[in-house]
Structure 1
Amino acid sequence: MASTTTTQIRVRGRPAHTAGPTYLSYTPDGTKLVTVGSNNTTRVYKTGFDGEPTNIDDCQEQNMGVDSTNDFFVSGSEDGTVSKYSFDTMSCDTFLMRCTLPIRDVCISSDGKWCAVASDELVVKIVGTSDASSMMYLREQLKPVKHISFDPSSKYIALSCTDGLVYVYSLLNDEPELVRKVDGLIRIVETDSEISSKVVWHPDGRVFAAPTATRDIQVVSKGDWENQRVFANGHSSDVTALAWSPNGAMLASAGKDRKIIIWETKTQKIIASYDYANVMDLAWHPTKNLLSFTNADGEVYIFNDFIPAEYANLLKLGLQPAPFIHDPLTETSANSRRQTTNAAKEIPHRGARRGTPDSLDDILGSDIMGDEDDFVVDDDGAGYALGLNGNGKRPNGDIDGHAGPLSKRPVHVWEPQFHQSFQPGSTPWRGNRKYMCLNLIGFVWTVDQDTHNTVTVEFYDHEFYRDFHFTDTFLYDKACLNENGTLFSSPADHKTLATVFYRPHETWTTRTEWRTELPKGEDVTAISLSESFVTVTTSANYVRIYTLFGIPYRVYRQKSSPTVSCASWRDYVLTLGNGSVGADGNTKLLYTIQNIKRDEICQSEDIVALPDGATVKSVFFSDNGDPCIYDSTGTLLVLLHWRTPSQASWVPFLDTKLLSRLASGRKTESYFPVAVADNKFHCIILKGGDLYPYFPRPLLSEFDFEIPLSSNPKPDSGDGDQDMDATEGDELKKLESQFVLKSLLAAQQQDLVDYTKSSHTQRTALARMEVEIDKTLLQMMAVECREGEERGMRALEMVTLLRDRSGRMIDAAGKVAERYGRTVLGEKIREVAEARLLNGMDED
């Protein structure tokens, strides 16, 4: 990794404490710097004042940690005492708590209400700063904790334990909850060691960094807890201190190699290096080009203009993004709606991004981020991320040039939200890897290796297919997989054009893989692969069709735009695009289905049936060739009568929220759609709040179709009569659901028989479905007959729904009525049979 030469500027250390571990903390407003050390004196330095600091005497000795707010600071000592000091009186205000073993670290929450305390005891305690009787306990770790660190929102806290694990707790509820143990990040370090294993949160709250056993600094993302970028090849010995700059644009680290290194966050490159020995703690000034640090000799260094002039502008930027391998804010999400950019809009203040379409809540889940985690990137240092109050206005008294004349002030313009494009069956990047395709044939995944990617294609059936992998220099980000081959596409950048690549599995000649490039300025939004064609939708709203041998077959511009996704089956292609704006401010999602080979449009720009605010998570064809969508409400919908123009309707075949496995309410899970085959919904069950599957490869699950007619049955009440009624009611509901489902499946089969060159097997299957529907109706009728004569009208209606015209099923219905002694019903059934017979004779 490239680095600058060691900077020769040196500052003189100020004797602050007796020789020994020394620690420091800036107040959030930057006016004061507090240092503690081995002696019983605490020093408070005034920023910009070169005179003597204010001394607070008669403090505890051997202080091992300090943290401050604008009004007070807290220190912890080896005698187990945690003391709170007031800046107003410059004296000890109170003892917050006492431990039986030495204190190792203290950390105050961003709102100043809580102070976390780590000691040589196993339990980490979080005490109220204004009420010491308020206490929370973190008990899951098996060994003492060396370092503690709140995230910027103070909703999570990370503990660096001496067992080599990082324990992350959620503080969202009254009782802290362990959400993750991060293994393989920090090394095993004893509590009294000068080596650091401290977790430091990036100011935007989405990642933290920690020193590793290899002397690098690894970044880990919150939520998925995956390794992101790494600051490598800087220190030749163990790291002793670590700190982000206030805006997250830089990272400072100190090591036992006598170096302080400044890294640029965006590139992970070294921009400055200084020689200082025995550094134990680092603290950036909140606003100035000033970094202070302490060493094991009791000295404090206050280093003005610490960042070289050529990089000082980095400190003037607004809050910078964390160093992801693939930043989720820049990745397309299947579940997000994003605003258009074709109109002027008011630039939001720092706290204004929550709830906007590109907020992290929409991408990572609302429970991952807190209110203070939202940010605006100020790339050019123009101050867009600063200075607006909660109403989006400048505060009183601010008369600088930001406001400008009325005609040039930013105007808030309402803008519609549209469906972002997505690739069915794929997942976003997590760390350095992602799934590009997941289906019943196999799966395709890729690993980012910085200079290239490594793509792996694996199959479930190894008797017919062979797994393969290859080095990917095109950086493919989308893939499709079927029985014939694998399709890939790569995005365009400033150097290369967007590329489509098809690789067949096996051929009777030499494998004829092919690759083609899209025109300049055009990017791939989605791809699909059938046994006949390759379909590519693009950012120019073109739909490009190729044969399986790479021959361009058709190109046309999609009417609905921007394009969203596509799916294909045999000669049919389904495309999704944004249409007109609905009452909820979201664009209507439109779909078109056409037969490419016959050049026939089956459905043209019809509306996808979605509830307000819902989005499509995946679109695909079933194994029988019926279009399916799975939406963000957890509902699987299948398109019925889609071969007849203007007759198609989206029918819910399964609502996963109503699955019986969720009836108890104790289980919380979601589902990643994979396919519809054999009249079942195939998916991956996601637990623990996950939004997408991850590695190792998850197992596939399947659920039978279940038409959402009613809620899950309630638990038994204990009343015998009521339980019997409930049992019969549940039986009838189950039969009703089966009747509707079988009727819909029969309608699908009827369309298949009517509009294709159906086989004898398909026609026989349809006849068998008709019989099963009638059997279900007879079972429903039997339940009604058991209920009594007063249910006779409902039972008779079921007889009229029988599909059999031979009279055999009606005769069976008469026998059911006779069995339960329903004489009147039996007479009515005979009348229905006679009427059908007469109608049949009239038709003849």
Structure 2
Amino acid sequence: MKVRSLKLREAHKSAATGNGSFCSILWDLQSHHLVTASSSETAISVHDSLLPSNTPKILRHHRDGVTALALSPNSTCLASGSIDHSVKLYKFPGGEFQTNITRFTLPIRVLAFNKSGSLLAAAGDDEGIKLINTIDGSIARVLKEHKGPVTGLAFDPNNEYLASIDSIGTVIFWELHSGRALHTLKGIAPDTGSDVSVMNVLSWSPDGETLAVPGLKNDVVMYDRDTAEKLFSLRGDHMKPICFLSWSPNGKYMATSSLDRQILIWDVDKKQDIDRQKFDDRICCMAWKPIGNALAVIDVMGRYGVWESVVPSSMKSPTEDIPNSRSKNSNGLLLFDEEEQEPSTSGSLSDLGEDSHGESEPPTRKRLRKQSVVDEDLNEDISDDLNLLPKAESRKKVYSNHKEYSEKGFGLKSTRTSSGTKMQQAFQPGATPVQPGKRHFLCYNVLGTITSIEHDGYSHIEIDFHDTGRGPRIPSMTDYFGFTMASLNENGSVFANPCKGEKNMSSLMYRPFSSWANNSENAKRHSIYR
């Protein structure tokens, strides 16, 4: 097999220690741009892939090295994570800074968008995984099971699972619908130790059937999506552990880079390598070109290049016959009625003006899930519901497409809100001005806080109930509700459905205008008990 040479060009300065840094590279959807970053620099570079000699656009918003990049599926939103503990969002390809979407207590190591772009998963050295709602920046869940820094995240293309891997080689399959850890596989990947320029990664096949994980024998091991059982492995001429892997867009091929400074290209069905390249330094990140037969690579010294004609012309193109996922666009968090909207493959942003989130149908696959635990000492019952909703960074959540969100298990309740021509006015003085895409304060009283937000011509009313503690002890609203969605009817009454505690309370209705006009702290309430 002929070994070819690929010339690399400098994108980022190498670390002062000379040992190299973890660098990232990715393509946009149309293959017009390459985005690169390095953990030794604060800059993110956006390169023109058609004119690579042009000076790249530089984004400088982090205070320390950039350790992770992710693009939303429609390539309109870029996310970056850093050693400075922050996760930031930018418009793409313009690069305009949007927001600091979250912060951690330790450096970030990995980011991943789900299929619709409505969720961003972020994780790093503090061992927790945050699922961030990109629609409004709220933290949907925090997943905590890992015992080491989380270095790899991958959303199942069918949007049923999230897979994660840490630096000590533990892989966890998370069910997005419930937030439970379905399978915990300990010690199946290499222990990368304290070298932060080497990070364990994993990746789902484009059809969502198989999860690829670096193995302990300088190989790649494939696991079944539902049972987490080992299916087969790719083992060839790598002399050291795999440090990065990437599926081709159609899932027929895989690229693997190793600590031995080689890249191997695999025919996955035949389980054999079909081409390779050697480099002067370790390749720490790769990305298949979405349109065309090419592979972008970047090494630990910050040099990048594009390997053209990766797959021989006599073989099927890596972009031919790209599979469709089973679920049209389930994002695992917000499940809606399929007949009410068209599926979309674009990602959603924190910008509420984008109508590209929340489309799906409940998954139809019912394969038997065999609980798989590799480590025999794992005795805890992972079927118990995890207390995953965070106490820190909790914010009021605005949910799209006018559907009710059930807090318990991210449930499936669906109720349409009433539409209106303009935003509901505040009930009491001191309200915030109406701003597009921002929450609008309406009132604070014995029931709690009420805010409103406009989206697609609808005025969404959001209520956070609290316990006033007045009078004899009776079940309070917080005994029954975490939060709920509500709507205004034509008579000016607010109707709210509970998200939990259905055994005792079926609904709540009150009139905000007549009762709160004179005394906002004494709202009339009417509760309907079963």
Q: Is the TM value for this pair above 0.5?
A: yes
Q: Between the two structures, name the one with larger relative contact order (CA 8 Å, sep ≥ 6).
A: 2
Are 2:107 and 1:105 aligned? no
Q: Deviations over 1:461-503 (max 9, x none)?
A: xxxxxxxxxxxxxxxxxxxxxxxxxxxxxxxxxxxxxxxxxxx
Q: Deviations over 1:337-365 (max 9, x none)?
A: xxxxxxxxxxxxx47xx6xxxxxxxxxxx
Larger radius of gyration: 1
8 A contact 1:14–1:299 mirrored in 2: yes
Q: How does 1:516-535 map to 2 (within 5 A)?
A: none
Counterpart of 1:72 (choices 68, 77, 98) is 77
What is the alpha-carbon distance in structure 2 between the residues aligned to residue 307 and residue 113 of structure 1? 33
What is the alpha-carbon distance in structure 1 between the residues aligned to residue 113 and residue 237 of structure 2? 30
8 A contact 2:165–2:201 mirrored in 1: yes
AA of the residue aligned to 2:305 = Y
- Residue 24 of structure 1 corresponds to 25
AA of the residue aligned to 1:132 = G
AA of the residue aligned to 1:209 = A
Q: CA deviation at 1:88?
A: 5.1
Q: How does 1:528-543 map to 2 (within 5 A)?
A: none
8 A contact 1:197–1:212 mirrored in 2: no
Q: How does 1:453-468 map to 2 (within 5 A)?
A: none
Counterpart of 2:312 (choices 294, 308, 319) is 308
Q: Secondary structure at the match of 1:314?
A: coil
What is the alpha-carbon distance in structure 1 between the residues aligned to residue 284 and residue 172 of structure 2? 23
- Residue 528 of structure 2 corresponds to none
Q: Deviations over 1:74-128 (max 9, x none)?
A: 1111110111111254232211111111111111112111111111112111112
What is the alpha-carbon distance in structure 1 between the residues aligned to residue 318 and residue 271 of structure 2? 16
Q: How does 1:403-802 map to 2 (within 5 A)?
A: none
Compared CA separation, residues 316 and 298, structure 1 to 2 (3 A):
closer
- Residue 154 of structure 1 corresponds to 159
Q: How does 1:156-555 map to 2 (within 5 A)?
A: 156-173=161-178, 176-190=179-193, 192-276=195-279, 277-311=281-315, 313-319=316-322, 350=324, 370-371=327-328
Q: Secondary structure at the match of 2:311?
A: coil
What is the alpha-carbon distance in structure 2 between the residues aligned to residue 262 and residue 34 of structure 1? 22
AA of the residue aligned to 2:277 = Y
8 A contact 1:66–1:76 mirrored in 2: yes
Q: Secondary structure at the match of 1:39?
A: coil
TM-score (structure 1 length as normaliser): 0.37
AA of the residue aligned to 2:294 = L
8 A contact 1:146–1:191 mirrored in 2: no
- Residue 420 of structure 1 corresponds to none
Are 2:3 and 1:7 aligned? yes
What is the alpha-carbon distance in structure 1 between the residues aligned to residue 319 and residue 150 of structure 2? 36
Q: Secondary structure at the match of 1:210?
A: strand
Q: CA deviation at 1:271?
A: 0.4
Q: CA deviation at 1:283?
A: 0.2
Q: Deviations over 1:810-842 (max 9, x none)?
A: xxxxxxxxxxxxxxxxxxxxxxxxxxxxxxxxx
Q: Number of residues paired by the alignment?
A: 325
- Residue 619 of structure 1 corresponds to none
Q: Deviations over 1:406-439 (max 9, x none)?
A: xxxxxxxxxxxxxxxxxxxxx99x9xxxxxxxxx
Q: Deviations over 1:530-586 (max 9, x none)?
A: xxxxxxxxxxxxxxxxxxxxxxxxxxxxxxxxxxxxxxxxxxxxxxxxxxxxxxxxx
Q: Deviations over 1:681-702 (max 9, x none)?
A: xxxxxxxxxxxxxxxxxxxxxx
AA of the residue aligned to 2:71 = S
Q: CA deviation at 1:219?
A: 0.4
Q: CA deviation at 1:58?
A: 2.4
Q: CA deviation at 1:294?
A: 0.7
Q: CA deviation at 1:185?
A: 2.1
- Residue 53 of structure 2 corresponds to 51
What is the alpha-carbon distance in structure 1 between the residues aligned to residue 2 and residue 190 of structure 2? 28
What is the alpha-carbon distance in structure 2 between the residues aligned to residue 182 and residue 28 of structure 1? 33
- Residue 35 of structure 2 corresponds to 34
What is the alpha-carbon distance in structure 1 between the residues aligned to residue 93 and residue 202 of structure 2? 31
CA RMSD of aligned residues (A): 2.5
Compared CA separation, residues 266 and 209, structure 1 to 2 (3 A):
same
What is the alpha-carbon distance in structure 1 between the residues aligned to residue 239 and residue 254 of structure 2? 17
What is the alpha-carbon distance in structure 2 between the residues aligned to residue 182 and residue 78 of structure 1? 28
Q: CA deviation at 1:144?
A: 2.6
TM-score (structure 2 length as normaliser): 0.58
Query: Sequence identity, in percent?
Result: 23
- Residue 130 of structure 2 corresponds to 125
Q: Secondary structure at the match of 1:315?
A: coil
4+ residue runs over 4 A deviation: none
AA of the residue aligned to 2:166 = C
8 A contact 1:260–1:275 mirrored in 2: yes
What is the alpha-carbon distance in structure 1 between the residues aligned to residue 220 and residue 58 of structure 2? 36
8 A contact 1:161–1:167 mirrored in 2: no
Compared CA separation, residues 53 and 191, structure 1 to 2 (3 A):
farther
8 A contact 1:73–1:84 mirrored in 2: yes
AA of the residue aligned to 1:172 = H
AA of the residue aligned to 1:178 = A
8 A contact 2:87–2:101 mirrored in 1: yes
AA of the residue aligned to 1:228 = L
8 A contact 1:104–1:191 mirrored in 2: no
**Which sections of structure 1, spanning at least 5 residues, go unmatched?**
321-349, 355-369, 374-389, 392-426, 431-844
Compared CA separation, residues 214 and 46, structure 1 to 2 (3 A):
same
- Residue 137 of structure 1 corresponds to 142
Compared CA separation, residues 104 and 88, structure 1 to 2 (3 A):
closer
Q: CA deviation at 1:286?
A: 0.9
8 A contact 2:44–2:66 mirrored in 1: no
8 A contact 1:236–1:257 mirrored in 2: yes
